[in-house]
Structure 1
Amino acid sequence: MARLVENPDLAFRLARAIISDIALYNQEKVKDGIKNDNLFDVLADELAEGREHFYTRVAPDLPNRDHLYDRAIVDVMVKQAGKIESSIW
Structure 2
Amino acid sequence: MARLVDNPNLAFRLARAIISDIALYNQEKVKEGIKNDNIFELLEEELQEGREHFHSRVAADMPERDHLYDRAMVDVMIRQAGKIESTIW
- Residue 43 of structure 1 corresponds to which residue in structure 2? 43
- Dislocated runs of 4+, deviation >3 Å: none
- Residue 86 of structure 2 corresponds to which residue in structure 1? 86
- Residue 2 of structure 1 corresponds to which residue in structure 2? 2
Structure 2 length normalisation: TM-score? 1.00
Measure how far apart 1:53 and its partner are: 0.1
Runs (5+) with no aligned partner, structure 1: none
Structure 1 length normalisation: TM-score? 1.00
Runs (5+) with no aligned partner, structure 2: none
Asked if 1:68 is matched to 2:68, the reply is yes
Identity between Structure 1 and Structure 2 (%): 80
RMSD: 0.2
